[in-house]
């Protein structure tokens, strides 16, 4: 299918449901009346929104930085149908320091080879003189509160980057859109999602879930997240199913809303990261009403390591409301394959394996960045059709069943390259296999993901790259340059991770205290990375652990932190 054929198919699919409400966008303060959009509305309003922007050429790369709103769901589609390549950036979910946030945006965005940034008008105006490409404001129907945040804030700092017209060309592959896989500072890079990758993913996942236009889903996952964008936006749109979208912030503060919408709209699917299962369970006793949740065919746990404890707690807590153990499902996914690689079988209980029955280390592995220490592991399901998995030991040999090693994947949805500072960079695969950086094992066809080698911290399903955090913290005066380490610490209560930062203070830093440094780190990391650190430890010089090769060791520093500092951090 070519890009043009894909766009034609999207139009036909939307018009085939021209009078059906396909998209509901719930926004405060009136949560009772979500904005409702039929197939025809989505198509017309999306295309009308895109027409407002005068783009320099076909296949323009358009960055979108917008808060949760109907426009956030309509504009990417409109731009795509108009022949452009949208890329959705993360809108800050917390209250941040607007000045620091804008300064970081300039740093982050001026290095990206884009053609246009579309954001809220005040922010567009503030950033206009600082970026090497154009900025345009989009007036949101309900967006005045966002404007106030950036009023009177100077972006400060001009880009040293390229001027409009000399930017790197758009990816010469058949790109539909770009999907950021993480990275919030200079390291920002995106997966190039092509027509072939997306259509195959929607077909494979649709088949595995027997997903039809009779289905519907409720989601709080943001559009910059692969689970939000692919599972909760493209899946229903492509298959003619309806979805209700609520903001992550609204969900965090009021998780009951999710259940209320599921019951009201008889949702059949709900994708959630693991911590959400634990969190919903804990909030049950404070919920105001009771809901019938029998309509849900699958609660799919994905985007961070799946934990049996979180799922069982959820099943027990909500059994009276109609949540059956067999409706709790799992999936293993990553942006590099557009989204899902595996999916558990609907209508069946997911398989479990005890930790002691797994050979924890394939040949040659001596260190792991992160490993689950649960007594029982839960399967992430079977590979989707046309998808191959293998578990590889450090010496390159293939691990036997229930022997853990690195997970490799090969399927038609695999990405061919990244788009970032250097423009489009092809990604080389060996015989078509992608090394995921995740740690797991196979038992029969079932994949169990039990950790990862890559240094990513996953906080509530959100990927945070330690390098980004360290780069930001290194800019703070009083911190010993290069002597900062970020890592994840287990959050057993919610089945996720908290972000921890250890920073060495300069011996000769005068006039600044450790408490002041800690405060500066917390504020800066929240403004730039978008996540507040759970722990910040200011330590004396030479506290951070180095490997025998003289390199800073995140793993060993993490172990030392947990051992010596966690109780007093």
Residues that bind other proteins (CB under 8 A): 28-29, 31, 93-97, 249, 252-254, 256-257, 275, 279, 282-283, 286, 288, 459-460, 491, 493-494, 496, 498-499, 519, 521-526, 531-534, 569
Q: Which of 50, 79, 71 is nearest to 176 (CA)?
A: 79
Q: For other proteins, which is the closer residue by CB, 101 or 332?
A: 101
3-state SS, residue 329? strand
> Helix-strand-coil percent breakdown of the chain, rounded to 5?
30, 25, 40
Q: Closest separation between CB of residue 252 and other proteins, Å?
A: 6
Sheet holding 175-180: strands in order across? 134-137, 116-119, 61-65, 85-88, 175-180, 190-194, 417-420, 423-426
- Per DSSP, helices labelled H in 63-153 are 70-81, 98-109, 121-127, 144-150
Q: For other proteins, which is the closer residue by CB, 128 or 532?
A: 532
Contact yes or no for 158/130 (Cβ under 8 A): yes
Contact yes or no for 94/112 (Cβ under 8 A): no
Q: For other proteins, which is the closer residue by CB, 5 or 493?
A: 493
Contact yes or no for 275/461 (Cβ under 8 A): yes
Q: For other proteins, which is the closer residue by CB, 25 or 257?
A: 257
Q: Closest separation between CB of residue 286 and other proteins, Å?
A: 5
Q: Which of 456, 466, 460, 486 is nearest to 304 (CA)?
A: 460
Q: For other proteins, which is the closer residue by CB, 97 or 556?
A: 97
Q: Closest separation between CB of residue 469 and other proteins, Å?
A: 12
Distance of CA 512 to the CA centre of its chain: 36
Q: Closest separation between CB of residue 353 and other proteins, Å?
A: 29
- Rounded distance between C-alpha atoms, residue 536 and residue 492, angstroms: 19
Q: Closest separation between CB of residue 520 and other proteins, Å?
A: 9
Q: For other proteins, which is the closer residue by CB, 29 or 396?
A: 29
Backbone phi, psi, residue 281, to 5°: -60, -45
Q: Closest separation between CB of residue 218 and other proteins, Å?
A: 17
Q: Which of 250, 182, 184 is nearest to 218 (CA)?
A: 250
Token look-up 């899902």 returns: 340
Contact yes or no for 184/205 (Cβ under 8 A): no
In angstroms and rounded to an integer, the radius of gyration of the C-alpha atoms of the chain is: 23
Q: Closest separation between CB of residue 254 and other proteins, Å?
A: 4
Contact yes or no for 322/351 (Cβ under 8 A): no
Q: For other proteins, which is the closer residue by CB, 31 or 321?
A: 31
Backbone phi, psi, residue 404, to 5°: -85, 145
Q: Closest separation between CB of residue 536 and other proteins, Å?
A: 8
Q: For other proteins, which is the closer residue by CB, 156 or 282?
A: 282
Q: Closest separation between CB of residue 526 and other proteins, Å?
A: 4
Query: Please, which residues have CB within 8 angstroms of residue 502's CB and are 6 or more apart in sequence?
Result: 484, 485, 486, 537, 539, 543, 544, 557, 561, 565
Q: For other proteins, which is the closer residue by CB, 368 or 522?
A: 522
Q: Closest separation between CB of residue 373 and other proteins, Å?
A: 20
- Rounded distance between C-alpha atoms, residue 220 and residue 232, angstroms: 9
Strands (E) located in 195-281? 216-219, 242-245, 269-272
- Rounded distance between C-alpha atoms, residue 240 and residue 10, angstroms: 10
Q: For other proteins, which is the closer residue by CB, 289 or 431?
A: 289
> Distance of CA 179 to CAs 84, 215, 461, Å?
14, 25, 16
Contact yes or no for 243/219 (Cβ under 8 A): yes
Q: For other proteins, which is the closer residue by CB, 33 or 163?
A: 33
Q: Which of 425, 479, 464 is nearest to 172 (CA)?
A: 425
Q: Closest separation between CB of residue 258 and other proteins, Å?
A: 12
Q: For other proteins, which is the closer residue by CB, 283 or 454?
A: 283
Q: For other proteins, which is the closer residue by CB, 79 or 520?
A: 520
First to last CA, the chain: 55
Q: Closest separation between CB of residue 499 and other proteins, Å?
A: 7
- Rounded distance between C-alpha atoms, residue 414 and residue 384, angstroms: 13
Q: Please tell me whether the peptide bond between 403 and the residue prior to it is cis, using omega within 30 degrees of 0.
A: no
Q: Report angle CA 271, 273, 274 to the nearest 5 degrees.
A: 120
Q: Closest separation between CB of residue 494 and other proteins, Å?
A: 6
Q: Closest separation between CB of residue 244 and other proteins, Å?
A: 17
Q: For other proteins, which is the closer residue by CB, 6 or 465?
A: 465
Contact yes or no for 449/440 (Cβ under 8 A): yes
Q: For other proteins, which is the closer residue by CB, 240 or 495?
A: 495
Q: Which of 248, 222, 310, 229 is nearest to 274 (CA)?
A: 310
Q: Closest separation between CB of residue 357 and other proteins, Å?
A: 32
């Amino acid at each position: 299918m070519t890009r043009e054929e894909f766009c034609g198919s999207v139009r036909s699919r939307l018009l085939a449901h021209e009078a059906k409400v396909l998209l509901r966008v719930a926004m405060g303060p009136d949560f009772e009346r979500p904005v409702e959009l039929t197939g025809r509305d989505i198509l017309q309003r999306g295309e009308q929104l895109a027409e407002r922007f005068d783009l320099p050429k076909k296949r323009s790369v358009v960055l979108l930085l917008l808060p949760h709103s109907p426009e956030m769901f309509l504009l990417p589609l409109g731009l795509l149908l108009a022949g452009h390549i949208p890329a959705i950036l993360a809108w800050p979910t917390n209250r941040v320091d607007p000045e620091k946030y804008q300064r970081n945006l300039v740093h982050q965005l001026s290095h990206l080879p884009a053609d246009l940034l579309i954001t809220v008008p005040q922010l567009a105006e503030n950033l206009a003189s600082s970026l090497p490409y154009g900025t345009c404001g989009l007036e949101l129907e309900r967006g005045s509160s966002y404007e106030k945040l950036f009023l009177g804030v100077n972006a400060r700092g001009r880009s040293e980057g390229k001027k409009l017209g000399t930017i790197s060309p758009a990816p010469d592959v058949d790109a539909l859109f770009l999907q950021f896989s993480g990275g919030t500072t200079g390291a920002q890079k995106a997966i190039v999602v092509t027509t072939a990758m997306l259509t195959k993913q929607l077909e494979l996942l649709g088949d595995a879930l027997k997903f039809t236009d009779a289905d519907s889903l409720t989601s709080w996952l943001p559009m910059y997240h692969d689970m939000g964008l692919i599972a909760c936006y493209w899946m229903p749109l492509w298959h003619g199913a309806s979805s209700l979208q609520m903001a992550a912030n609204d969900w965090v503060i009021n998780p009951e809303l999710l259940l209320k919408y599921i019951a009201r709209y008889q949702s059949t699917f709900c994708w959630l990261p693991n911590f959400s299962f634990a969190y919903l369970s804990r909030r049950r006793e404070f919920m105001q009403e009771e809901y019938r949740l029998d309509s849900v065919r699958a609660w799919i746990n994905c985007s961070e390591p799946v934990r049996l404890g979180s799922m069982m707690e959820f099943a027990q807590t909500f059994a009276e409301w109609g949540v059956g153990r067999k409706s709790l499902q799992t999936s293993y996914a990553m942006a590099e394959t557009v989204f899902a690689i595996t999916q558990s079988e609907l209508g069946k209980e997911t398989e479990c394996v005890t930790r002691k029955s797994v050979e924890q280390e394939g040949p040659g592995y001596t260190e792991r960045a992160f490993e689950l220490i649960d007594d029982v592991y839960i399967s992430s399901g079977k590979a989707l059709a046309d998808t191959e998995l293998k578990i590889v030991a450090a010496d390159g040999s293939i691990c036997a069943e229930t022997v853990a090693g690195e997970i490799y994947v090969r399927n038609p949805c695999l990405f061919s390259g990244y788009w970032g500072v250097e423009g489009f960079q092809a990604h080389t695969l060996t015989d078509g296999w992608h090394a995921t950086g995740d740690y797991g094992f196979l038992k029969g066809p079932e994949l169990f993901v039990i950790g990862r080698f890559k240094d990513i911290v996953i906080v509530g399903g959100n990927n945070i790259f330690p390098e980004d955090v360290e780069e930001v913290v290194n800019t703070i005066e009083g911190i010993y340059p290069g002597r900062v380490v970020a890592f994840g610490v287990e959050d057993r209560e919610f089945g996720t991770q908290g972000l921890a930062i250890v920073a060495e203070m300069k011996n000769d830093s005068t006039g600044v205290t450790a408490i002041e440094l800690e405060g500066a780190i917390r504020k800066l990391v929240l403004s730039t990375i978008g996540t507040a650190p759970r722990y910040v430890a200011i330590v004396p010089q030479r506290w951070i652990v180095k490997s025998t090769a003289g390199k800073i060791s995140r793993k060993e520093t993490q172990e030392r932190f947990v051992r010596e500092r966690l109780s007093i951090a």
